[in-house]
Structure 1
Amino acid sequence: MLTTLTTTVWAQDADLVAIADEQYNFGDKRDAGETYRQALGINPDNVRANYMAGICYLETIHKEKALTYLLKAYELAPEISPDILYLIARAYHYGEQFDEAIGYYQRYLSDVEAKKGQQYSKSKAQELTKQTERNIYECNVGKELMASPVPMDITSISEAVNTVELEYAPAITSDESFMIFTSRRAGGMSPDKANDNLFYEDIYITHRQNGKWNAPKLLEGVNTETHDASINISPDGSMLMLYQDDNGGDIFVSYKEKKEDEWSKPRPISDNVNSEFRESAASISADGKRLFFTSDRPGGYGGADIYMSEAYGKNKWGQPVNLGPAINSEYDDDSPVLSYDGTTLYFSSKGHRGMGGFDVFKSEWNDSSGTWMNAENLGYPINTPDDDDHYTVSADGMRAYYASVKDNIGVGDMDIFMITAKDPEEVDSVEAKKPQVAEKAPEKPAVAPQPQPELQPVVCQIVVTDATGAPLDAQIILQPATETGFESIKTGTFRKDFMLKESKAMQVTVRKEGYMFQTIDLTVPAAQAGKAQQITKGVRLQPVTAGVRRILRNIYFEFDKVHLRPESHDELAKLEQIMRENPTITVEIAGHTDKIGTWDYNKELSLRRAQSVRAWLIGRGIDGSRIKAVGYGETRPLASNDDEEEGRELNRRTEFVVLTR
């Protein structure tokens, strides 16, 4: 009788695991986790149920709760999965038990090394090792940040806004009169659920009255019966940016109608911004002149990168520029928001000096050098080992809003929180602060004068990578030439210390045989007493292959003429060198104009300018059969040819295109 009963119980256990497997494979990981845990209520020693219950926690919320189940699975069957040690480390990591996490990460590294060439290929082992070493680094950062928490109060903004479901992507107006956010709560446009058994995303609006956020309402005019996600809102509250899955994922805009809380039908923001790749986050500067957005298009530093596009007319955006390695890491970088004074960019990143998942960072704009400074982590408890994202700051700098998972103060899943300085008299804003030096007591008469702070050099670093992001040794040429050039401090990284009395504009050309050269602007500020300054510029070189295109940045013609000015010769000499180093390539010199003048005239002018460049190269001994000159006139603009000067200037250019290798 006892044997029969035991067999029946174990069969019930197996049935529940089979059901949970179906839920998990369908994408419903929350319900799957609950079903696995029900199976464990019948048989606590079911190996798969323990393992998968841990997996479901790691892939949803309350990730630290995975630890109990994964440790049990490992105890019952150490070979349950090749990555079991890594998963246990992840659970410790999410639970902020960093020393324990590091121990398991290191055990996993040893296991990977032992199985390299057998269970893991060499490339796979390198990939796993790199990721695990990054996780160990995050744990060490977490220990440092938690040892010095920032003086901030973090509170759930409102139980009327936050629910047991997901709320995220808060966007506020400059006067904080209303907030737009995304939620996957019940009561949205569709009664149906997605494969993960959560309601579809919808966009909501909540108004602040008497200091409190009221019950949210669906935003009229923008929601559909599938996923609709808000991204951001213009400071004046007139334009909403949202994400739609079209074309691989694009940014759309909607404009506020006269009727309260009603918005126009969304339309794509700009062909210069959206691409065939995924654009997923954006914000506009307070003056409306700059758009910051996220894209995973090729040519970045890895994962999703942050780009900036400048306005050249109403709702018109120019070609985007990657913000470089001070902002972008080899991992995902997301949710850029510029402070109202235009000096600080806030964003989330899985890279830089983070403690795990997306952390919130800031970067200060250096007016003297015209560059963004290296990213700074906003600290703990703003950041955690889980995702902390969609950070936005109030106009007065005294409050911030962001999305995070916080079991102790949250309502359910990811919620929206408000951050305020604990002591407004001592803390200027809600960004993380460095420790301050206490005020000195009134000094007694000094016996001798105190030494003045010495001038500190401006440290300039050039980081050179290839198309894959791997470091690349190259030649760094500084113009105008100085007594000493850049020094290579490691593969792909070059340094020079400047001690200038006043700010100076320069150009740096990066070149390597077999690659297209690249010239960048560099403005070095004056050295300051007692204040160290650093500039980091990232340069990505492309190999000389068919189809590679490069704008020749320093080619100058007299107005409305075709004669090359003398200051063009340095840039042309670099082009000549590429032709000599790659004797089999054929190239096209492409001339372009703006729309000022007639179509025929612009076509002829652009052709003659391209022919001038071709003639210069032939005069330097390059075989003319390798060079094709083409004039495109006004037919291939990079920006609008309307009356805005900035757009026309972008379109007046000479390009170099490799036709054959």
Structure 2
Amino acid sequence: MRIIIFLLCISSYLSFSQTNRDYKKYDLAVQNFKQGDLDKSKKILQKLLKKQPLWKQPILLLATISENEGDFLEAIYYLNLIYQKSTIEHLKGLERIANLYFKNGYYEKAKEYYTSVWKIDSINCNDKTLINIKSCDFAIFQKRNPKQFNPINLGSNINSEMREYFPAISIKGDKLVFTRLIEENYKRSQEDFYLSYKDQNNWIQAIPFPGKLNTNMNEGTLSFSYSDNKIVYTACDRKDSKGRCDLYIMENNISYNLGSPVNTIYWESQGVFSPDGEYLYFVSNNPGGYGGKDIWRSKLTNDGFSIPENLGPEINTEYDEISPFIHPDNLTLYFSSNGHIGMGDYDLFISRRNTTNLNWGKVENLGFPINTHRVENSLIVEKDGLTAYYTSDLSGYGKEDIFTFTLPREYQAKQINNLELEILSNKPGDEVILNNVNFSFNSFKLNQASIKELNFLIDYLIKNPEKKITIEGHTDNVGNEEDNLILSKKRAESVYNFLLNNGIKSNQLISFEGFGESRPVSSNSSEKGREENRRTSFRLVQ
């Protein structure tokens, strides 16, 4: 059972009001509280209050127990018994009441108490008090002007009576991996990965992630690379760990610790790759940041990962920022924070940039009712830019479930087509096949389906004028080898000319070349293999 640790100060002398027997009962209540027996502790304390209604220590402990039980209003009731004056002596108590109102979604009352705290001691109040006052104003406005929002629980194939969180979607959108907290008993629980496949529009029953990724230790927050050939995940308390939790990579079914300089003696977790594979974004409580937990990134170089850089004060606050997600457009960042102006605990936020060379821009809260006074985190968005998944403790199958919803228009990312995904998931020099560029038998004339595919390529090259390509034509082994070579070159030339005649500058089109049947990607012994070998493709030069 999760217990909030509360420091209880007991007077060094006995007043005339409390007897030695009363103090012994109070000590017993404290022991029961520390051992997790909240009911027994509560009964003892309530009996003590019947004798001494304003005894401060039992009242404070009762408020803490109520808070542990999730009864914030009862906790406020007890605190109001002893904190009623707007004086410096009551400052911490009034601030605690304000926090409880805020966490429970009573924003008007929370603002009233935060304002009192500020008026009592504006000189010594920290910035969080001002942020909380602004958050109350923001939340009040949001509740009066809600966004269109219809979250759908992913159902019993994904969610259970346990906690499910940190969803991850494969680039093709056909695999969902998430973390489940396996609660075996009150003394021990551990995290494992679960996997589900999409069957038409439904996710099938989730199973433990196959292979050796799950152990009897904690594993969590898995993310796919955009080429789907790497997985980054978090593992804790391993023999090769540098800190309590480290980032690991699984590649070709082999897992290894990411090592320095990404992993440190501190806590590193929640890694995600950028779509182009150039950066790894992650969360760390490294004291070199702006707050408790910050979002960092490390660049992948020929020599491994670079020294991580902090995303800066635009993103990170003096509190916690977690669960970063970079959309496939590489221009939209979603994350969760309890430090920016928001609705309550952790809220979901968005930040954008115009190009991949720029820093992330202004942070924006996704608003109510996407965000509430509860915890919202782990937002991911599919390549269509509008289908989102996130974790919430909204009513569901367990304490935390995974939901899906359609993002409001103002928070949607750019839609990415399959060709752009192919480009993103390949390195310069890799062959990118134009899957829908097809030709009739022994012909090099482009058809309508081919033109639609090439328009995607035109759009990409116009938006990325620094990119240059070479175009290739290939055939199967049916027919004369020399004829196939000529035909493949003419097909590549047709694509080259179409691009040139539709706005692509010649300096972006390095060359076209035909290879005939000399570079098969499959066996020519079957029709399927021959079909795969009859292809038109391109390679990014830079």
TM-score greater than 0.5 by the shorter chain: yes
Closer, same or farther: CA 421–344 of 1 in aligned 2, 3 Å = closer
SS in structure 2 of the partner of residue 253 of structure 1: strand
Partner of 1:244: 236
Determine if the alignment matches structure 1 residue 155 to structure 2 residue 143.
no
Indicate conservation of the 8 Å contact 2:143/2:369, yes or no.
yes
What RMSD, in angstroms, separates the aligned Cα atoms of the two structures?
3.8
Partner of 1:309: 298
Closer, same or farther: CA 75–273 of 1 in aligned 2, 3 Å = same
Indicate conservation of the 8 Å contact 2:181/2:191, yes or no.
yes
Partner of 1:505: none
Unaligned runs of 5+ in 2: 1-19, 415-541
SS in structure 1 of the partner of residue 81 of structure 2: helix
Determine if the alignment matches structure 1 residue 93 to structure 2 residue 102.
yes
Indicate which of 352, 361, 367 corresponds to 2:340.
352
Indicate which of 402, 405, 420 corresponds to 2:406.
420
1:35 deviation in Å? 4.8
Closer, same or farther: CA 214–379 of 1 in aligned 2, 3 Å = same
Determine if the alignment matches structure 1 residue 139 to structure 2 residue 136.
yes
Indicate conservation of the 8 Å contact 2:168/2:178, yes or no.
yes
**Alignment TM-score, normalising by the size of structure 2:** 0.61
Residue identity in the other structure for 1:71? Y
SS in structure 2 of the partner of residue 85 of structure 1: helix
Closer, same or farther: CA 21–171 of 1 in aligned 2, 3 Å = farther
Moved more, 13-22 or 221-230: 13-22
Indicate conservation of the 8 Å contact 1:421/1:430, yes or no.
yes
Closer, same or farther: CA 180–357 of 1 in aligned 2, 3 Å = same
Indicate conservation of the 8 Å contact 1:109/1:129, yes or no.
no
1:49 deviation in Å? 6.2
Q: Distance in 2 between matches of 1:379 and 1:428?
A: 11
Determine if the alignment matches structure 1 residue 233 to structure 2 residue 224.
yes
Q: Distance in 1 between matches of 2:366 and 2:260?
A: 34
Q: Distance in 2 between matches of 1:157 and 1:16?
A: 48
Q: Distance in 2 between matches of 1:225 and 1:165?
A: 17
Indicate which of 311, 326, 343 corresponds to 1:338.
326
Indicate conservation of the 8 Å contact 2:72/2:104, yes or no.
no
Determine if the alignment matches structure 1 residue 208 to structure 2 residue 202.
no
Closer, same or farther: CA 355–322 of 1 in aligned 2, 3 Å = same
For residues 573-592 of structure 1, what are the structure 2 equivalents within 5 Å?
none
For residues 103-502 of structure 1, what are the structure 2 equivalents within 5 Å?
103-111=112-120, 126=124, 128-186=125-183, 193-194=187-188, 199-219=189-209, 220-235=211-226, 236=228, 238-245=230-237, 246-255=241-250, 264=254, 266-313=255-302, 316-367=304-355, 370-406=358-394, 409-421=395-407, 427=409, 430=412
Q: Distance in 2 between matches of 1:74 and 1:49?
A: 13
| Identity over aligned pairs, percent | 27
1:21 deviation in Å? 3.5
Q: Distance in 2 between matches of 1:103 and 1:280?
A: 38
Q: Distance in 2 between matches of 1:12 and 1:213?
A: 61
Residue identity in the other structure for 1:343? L
Indicate conservation of the 8 Å contact 1:70/1:84, yes or no.
no
Deviations along 1:515-549, whole A, 9 cap, x unmatched? xxxxxxxxxxxxxxxxxxxxxxxxxxxxxxxxxxx
Indicate conservation of the 8 Å contact 2:33/2:41, yes or no.
no
How many positions carry a matched residue from both structures? 385
Q: Distance in 1 between matches of 2:402 and 2:356?
A: 37
1:339 deviation in Å? 0.5
Indicate conservation of the 8 Å contact 2:336/2:376, yes or no.
yes
SS in structure 2 of the partner of residue 403 of structure 1: strand
Indicate conservation of the 8 Å contact 1:231/1:243, yes or no.
no
Indicate conservation of the 8 Å contact 1:309/1:318, yes or no.
yes
Q: Distance in 1 between matches of 2:40 and 2:218?
A: 27
Indicate conservation of the 8 Å contact 1:180/1:230, yes or no.
no
Closer, same or farther: CA 276–326 of 1 in aligned 2, 3 Å = same
Residue identity in the other structure for 1:277? Y
Closer, same or farther: CA 183–39 of 1 in aligned 2, 3 Å = farther
Residue identity in the other structure for 1:405? D
Q: Distance in 2 between matches of 1:23 and 1:180?
A: 40
Relative contact order (C-alpha < 8 Å, sep 6+): which is higher? 2
Indicate conservation of the 8 Å contact 1:307/1:321, yes or no.
yes
SS in structure 2 of the partner of residue 152 of structure 1: coil
SS in structure 2 of the partner of residue 185 of structure 1: strand
SS in structure 1 of the partner of residue 242 of structure 2: helix
Closer, same or farther: CA 431–312 of 1 in aligned 2, 3 Å = closer
Deviations along 1:268-296, whole A, 9 cap, x unmatched? 12412112332222100223222111223
Q: Distance in 2 between matches of 1:392 and 1:204?
A: 17
Residue identity in the other structure for 1:305? D
Q: Distance in 2 between matches of 1:97 and 1:306?
A: 30
Partner of 1:70: 76
Indicate conservation of the 8 Å contact 2:42/2:65, yes or no.
no
Indicate conservation of the 8 Å contact 2:66/2:74, yes or no.
no
**Alignment TM-score, normalising by the size of structure 1:** 0.51
Closer, same or farther: CA 50–395 of 1 in aligned 2, 3 Å = farther
Closer, same or farther: CA 133–177 of 1 in aligned 2, 3 Å = same
Residue identity in the other structure for 1:412? G
Deviations along 1:227-270, whole A, 9 cap, x unmatched? 3323433342741411424333443324266xxxxx54x42124
Q: Distance in 2 between matches of 1:17 and 1:410?
A: 38
SS in structure 1 of the partner of residue 398 of structure 2: coil
Q: Distance in 2 between matches of 1:309 and 1:336?
A: 14
SS in structure 1 of the partner of residue 391 of structure 2: strand
Indicate conservation of the 8 Å contact 1:159/1:411, yes or no.
yes
Indicate conservation of the 8 Å contact 1:362/1:377, yes or no.
yes
Closer, same or farther: CA 210–19 of 1 in aligned 2, 3 Å = farther
Indicate conservation of the 8 Å contact 1:170/1:401, yes or no.
yes
Closer, same or farther: CA 216–366 of 1 in aligned 2, 3 Å = same
